Chains A and B, each alone.
Chain A
Amino acid sequence: MNNFAEFLSRFQFGFTASYHIMFPALSIGLSWFLVLIHGMYLKTGKVEYFRIYKFWTSIFALNFSIGVVTGIFMSFQFGLNWSKFSYAAGPVLGSIIGLEVMTAFFLEAGFLGIMLLGWNRVNKKVHFFATLMVAVGTLISATWILGANSWLHTPAGYKFSNGQYFITEWWHAVFNPSFYIRYPHMLLASMFASSFLVAGISAWYLLKNRYLSFAKTTYSISLAIITVLIPVQLWVGDTLYAKMAVYQPAKTEALEGFWEDTPTAPYLLFVNPDFKNQRNDVQVGIPYMGSILITHSLHGTVQGLKRTPPENQPNMALTFYFFRVMFLIAILMFFTALTSIALRFTGNLFVKRWFLKMSIFMTPAGVIATIAG
């Protein structure tokens, strides 16, 4: 009974957190996309940009509202289901999230009204300022929440007494070791989530031959954003992986799906882990690829999960496949970006139907990769 309740609580937390993260992730990317579009509109005065702005602000508004209300749920559920945890970690997490609410949430909420509905009521510069402030708010919010999240992964600047954690050095606690890499990784992930959403919807319009000039502009911009950011993201992800290997070795070991230390390791695509016997029943992989990706050399040794004692081992199948999903999507994104470069400069970007169809297919890719990650 007790275990079942714990399972339910874990499931609830996992579900609500994943559900919640979709909306802020899209909000961050979309808000900066809107800042770009709004700036272009003010600079060029072209009706296209105005049209794009109107269309995407309405989606942004819906997305943002759902983000706010699911956020309320998140702020209460720490205490509702994880009472002991919130008692112990409250002084740290509560302070960080409290600052997030004060510096970011209010900023976003205060200016969102003006951004969405202030057309007749403020002049153009103030209106642009409101858009900018909403975007800045999403960024600040991401900073704090990632600080809190990274603190749970790599705690720093704290002391433990009387069953509670206390912050002793504020900036060390927020900007803890894994924050610097986790933060850009998450920000870029949210940029991808929103860019693929924008690209997918414009591709759909292009395929249906509707609102062409609108769709062409957004399609081109969103694919350009993807193309510029994907190499950065791959590099950041790689660096984060190296950090994780230092601070949370059990996690990286489980991610790769090996039980034993393996030199010249293949990159596994399919495993069927057997927890009891500490081995894989079946494993399929690409030779050499594992060593190259992880250790950056042909014969490097990939560490196995047996290094961690069984009672501390994470669930290998779960971590392994979620990581595979994220990685494969990243490869697909990379492929999309490369293809878009080729198509762009040969004038085929809006013509090749297979690519448009693929863009539609890729619409949820960013969101899925974010959740899986």
Chain B
Amino acid sequence: MDIHILFALVICFAAVMYTIFDGFDLGVGILFPFIKNESSRDTMVDSITPVWDGNETWLILLGVGLFGGFPKAYSVLLPALYLPLIVMVIGLILRGVAMEFRFVSVHRKSWWDAAFSFGSVMAVFCQGLVLGNLMEGIKVYKDIAYRDITFNFLSPFTILIGLVLIVTYALIGATWLNFKTSGKLQATFKRFVKRIIFCLLLLLILVVFGRFYLEIFIPRFGAFGIGRILSLPSIVWYIATVILTAAIYFTVDRKNDILPFVLNILMTAGSALYIVSGFWPYIVPPDLTIFDAGSPAYGNRILLICSLVIVPIILAYFIYSYIVFKGKVSGKDNYEPSLAESELLKSKVKVNGNDHAGFKVLTMAWPWRIAISLGGIFFFFVVLGFFGDLTAQFAIAVFIVIFLAACFKYQRI
């Protein structure tokens, strides 16, 4: 198969993985303002702390894969979507940092909480704007994106897609939390899932059929224009989405907690695939195809082969990591060391101020000390300066051996 197609598939895979996995941990941030209780909030964040780093790495892979595999698309797309991308990254930084700081902060915890959810919403909305722009199409003129004003990326359609993405992520976040929490908190999320499904369906209906009634919702360049509404993939997608949302709605009250989450993953992955496949054969519709944008390079092939080998390995230890952190999150001491070790931590080890018991001490008169220091300086700056590399390497090796031997003899490290 053509190398560009294979590489586009790798990028698609990264995109789908990102939407699913960072989807639910961004979703946790989106749901944050609706949960007021401090310990519930801790539980929510606890459910994603072991995995969010890895989830975000798919985004880096996406960006860098575009950079390496389709440099032309990368150099057109990023300046064209400058503002939403910058704001998205700032949002991600804000939430990543806030997540770490809220655990250690005492007085400003509510601020970090706010930063966490604000950053998440900001990032998701901007991702939606980027997606919306791709669906609308970006005119390319003389190798650069055609744009008349800085805020060209904003249109009713893209804003609508931004909102859809927020709700989509909130839904997968809610089913994830339904899967990972228990008791009263879980009941709250069960309620959330149902409400969010209603919002999502309303928004989707507005996206798909709104354009028949309101002209402002028609995508500008027509990649996802009226012609696609009744095409076969679209109809398959409508049916699948309706069936899957209904399934989530009715299984969320059952005992099996993981089922709604799995269904939700299927739904998100399906939608992502539907959208991405809609771009074919373009990477920046409506002007740049993946064959125009790709680089027919040897390095590309290496990257491709490596990704085909490495991605399964990555998936293997990802799955392992999720298995390690399986089960419900509850209470405070989720990830702390076992009791015996924590007890050890509390036990006081008695140490006197400047006590050197147990150390053999080398006593030396002060002229010796000065002589040794000066000798060292002389050694390094003059002797090593005038002699060749081999002498230098040898002298350094001798020094290290003598030093370590002396450390072990006179003072254990």
Contacts from A to B (Cβ < 8 Å): 47-48, 50-51, 54, 58, 61-62, 64-66, 68-73, 75-76, 78-80, 83-84, 86-103, 105-114, 116-122, 164, 166-170, 173, 209, 212-213, 216, 220-221, 224, 227-228, 231-232, 234-235, 239, 292-293, 296-297, 334, 338-339, 341-342, 344-347, 349-351
Contact present for A98 and B399 (CB under 8 Å): no
Q: Which residues of B are found within 8 Å of A100, using beta-carbon distances?
A: 64
Q: How far is the CA of A88 from the CA of B407 in the complex (A)?
A: 53
Contact present for A212 and B353 (CB under 8 Å): yes
Contact present for A119 and B336 (CB under 8 Å): yes
List, sorted by A's number, 12 A–B pairs whose CB atoms are closer than 8 Å: A72-B56, A73-B93, A79-B75, A87-B74, A101-B57, A102-B311, A106-B310, A168-B298, A209-B353, A227-B403, A347-B361, A350-B356
Contacts from B to A (Cβ < 8 Å): 49-51, 53-54, 56-57, 59-61, 63-69, 71-72, 74-79, 82, 85-86, 89, 92-93, 96-97, 99-101, 104, 143-144, 295-300, 302-303, 306-307, 310-311, 314, 317-318, 320-321, 324-325, 334-338, 341, 344-345, 347, 349, 351, 353-354, 356, 359, 361-364, 369, 372-373, 376-377, 380-382, 384-386, 389, 392-393, 396, 399-400, 403-404, 406-407, 410-411, 413
Q: How far is the CA of A186 from the CA of B36 in the complex (A)?
A: 46
Q: How far is the CA of A18 from the CA of B71 in the complex (A)?
A: 25
Contact present for B353 and A239 (CB under 8 Å): no
Q: Within the complex, what minimum Cβ distance (angstroms) separates B95 from chain A?
A: 8
Contact present for B345 and A47 (CB under 8 Å): yes
Q: Which residues of A are found within 8 Å of B369, using beta-carbon distances?
A: 342, 346
Q: A78-B67, A94-B67, A345-B406 are in contact. Are A231 and B89 (CB under 8 A)?
A: no
Give the residue of B60, B86, B353, B399 whose beta carbon is less than 8 angstroms from that of A105. Answer: B60
Q: A48-B349, A111-B317 are in contact. Are A220 and B413 (CB under 8 A)?
A: yes
Give the residue of A50, A117, A118, A209 whose beta carbon is less than 8 angstroms from that of B345. Answer: A50
Q: How far is the CA of A223 from the CA of B99 in the complex (A)?
A: 33
Q: Within the complex, what minimum Cβ distance (angstroms) separates A155 from chain B?
A: 13
Q: Which residues of A are found within 8 Å of B144, using beta-carbon distances?
A: 83
Contact present for B57 and A113 (CB under 8 Å): no
Contact present for A83 and B78 (CB under 8 Å): yes
Q: Would you list the 7 A-B pairs with minimal beta carbon distance, nearest first?
A: A94-B68, A90-B71, A79-B78, A113-B50, A167-B299, A117-B335, A94-B67
A-B contact count (CB 8 A): 301
Contact present for B100 and A121 (CB under 8 Å): no
Contact present for A170 and B298 (CB under 8 Å): yes
Contact present for B349 and A47 (CB under 8 Å): yes
Which residue of the partner chain B has the closest CB to A164?
A: B295
Q: Within the complex, what minimum Cβ distance (angstroms) separates B122 from chain A?
A: 13
Contact present for B385 and A296 (CB under 8 Å): yes
Give the residue of B53, B347, B393 whose beta carbon is less than 8 angstroms from that of A65. Answer: B53
Q: How far is the CA of A62 from the CA of B99 in the complex (A)?
A: 9
Contact present for B302 and A170 (CB under 8 Å): yes
Q: Which residues of A are found within 8 Å of B300, using beta-carbon distances?
A: 91, 95
Q: Which residues of B are found within 8 Å of A296, using beta-carbon distances?
A: 385-386
Contact present for A54 and B373 (CB under 8 Å): no
Contact present for A120 and B335 (CB under 8 Å): yes
Q: Within the complex, what minimum Cβ distance (angstroms) separates A56 from chain B?
A: 14
Contact present for A110 and B54 (CB under 8 Å): yes
Contact present for B380 and A292 (CB under 8 Å): no
Q: A90-B74, A342-B369 are in contact. Are A101 and B67 (CB under 8 A)?
A: no
Most buried by A among B63, B85, B386: B63
Q: Within the complex, what minimum Cβ distance (angstroms) separates B406 from chain A?
A: 6
Q: How far is the CA of A118 from the CA of B324 in the complex (A)?
A: 8
Contact present for A69 and B385 (CB under 8 Å): no
Q: How far is the CA of A52 from the CA of B100 in the complex (A)?
A: 20
Which residue of the partner chain A has the closest CB to B56?
A: A68
Q: A106-B54, A111-B317, A339-B373 are in contact. Are A83 and B302 (CB under 8 A)?
A: no
Give the residue of B79, B298, B353, B407 whose beta carbon is less than 8 angstroms from that of A83. Answer: B79
Contact present for B74 and A91 (CB under 8 Å): no
Contact present for A91 and B68 (CB under 8 Å): yes
Contact present for B372 and A94 (CB under 8 Å): no
Q: Which residues of A are found within 8 Å of B334, using beta-carbon distances?
A: 117
Contact present for A114 and B324 (CB under 8 Å): yes
Which residue of the partner chain B has the closest CB to A220?
A: B413
Q: Which residues of B are found within 8 Å of A213, using beta-carbon distances?
A: 349, 351
Q: How far is the CA of A54 from the CA of B76 in the complex (A)?
A: 46
Q: Which residues of A are found within 8 Å of B410, using beta-carbon distances?
A: 344-345
Q: Within the complex, what minimum Cβ distance (angstroms) separates B10 from chain A?
A: 9
Q: Which residues of B are found within 8 Å of A51, using beta-carbon distances?
A: 345
Q: Within the complex, what minimum Cβ distance (angstroms) separates B244 from chain A?
A: 29
Contact present for A113 and B53 (CB under 8 Å): yes
Q: How far is the CA of A265 from the CA of B28 in the complex (A)?
A: 64
Q: Which residues of A are found within 8 Å of B338, using beta-carbon distances?
A: 119-120
Known: A86-B75, A344-B410, A349-B411. 4 other contacts (CB 8 A): A90-B67, A95-B297, A341-B403, A346-B369
Q: Within the complex, what minimum Cβ distance (angstroms) separates B19 from chain A?
A: 16
Give the residue of B59, B361, B407 whose beta carbon is less than 8 angstroms from that of A72. Answer: B59
Q: Which residues of B are found within 8 Å of A68, using beta-carbon distances?
A: 53, 56-57, 96
Q: Which residues of B are found within 8 Å of A87, using beta-carbon distances?
A: 71-72, 74-75, 143
Q: Within the complex, what minimum Cβ distance (angstroms) separates B180 from chain A?
A: 14
Q: A65-B53, A235-B393 are in contact. Are A345 and B96 (CB under 8 A)?
A: no
Q: Within the complex, what minimum Cβ distance (angstroms) separates A172 from chain B?
A: 11
Q: Within the complex, what minimum Cβ distance (angstroms) separates B85 from chain A?
A: 6
Q: Which residues of A are found within 8 Å of B100, using beta-carbon distances?
A: 61-62, 65-66
Which residue of the partner chain A has the closest CB to B316?
A: A110
Q: A71-B60, A111-B317 are in contact. Are A97 and B54 (CB under 8 A)?
A: no
Q: How far is the CA of A18 from the CA of B346 in the complex (A)?
A: 39
Give the residue of B49, B344, B362, B396 whose beta carbon is less than 8 angstroms from that of A232. Answer: B396
Q: How far is the CA of A251 from the CA of B389 in the complex (A)?
A: 23
Q: Within the complex, what minimum Cβ distance (angstroms) separates A310 from chain B?
A: 32
Q: Which residues of A are found within 8 Å of B386, using beta-carbon distances?
A: 296-297
Q: Which residues of A are found within 8 Å of B93, using beta-carbon distances?
A: 66, 69-70, 72-73
Q: How far is the CA of A81 from the CA of B371 in the complex (A)?
A: 56
Contact present for A94 and B77 (CB under 8 Å): no
Q: A84-B75, A345-B410 are in contact. Are A113 and B54 (CB under 8 A)?
A: yes
Contact present for B67 and A97 (CB under 8 Å): yes
Contact present for A54 and B67 (CB under 8 Å): no
Q: Which residues of B are found within 8 Å of A113, using beta-carbon distances?
A: 49-51, 53-54, 321, 324-325
Q: Which residues of A are found within 8 Å of B376, using beta-carbon distances?
A: 338, 341
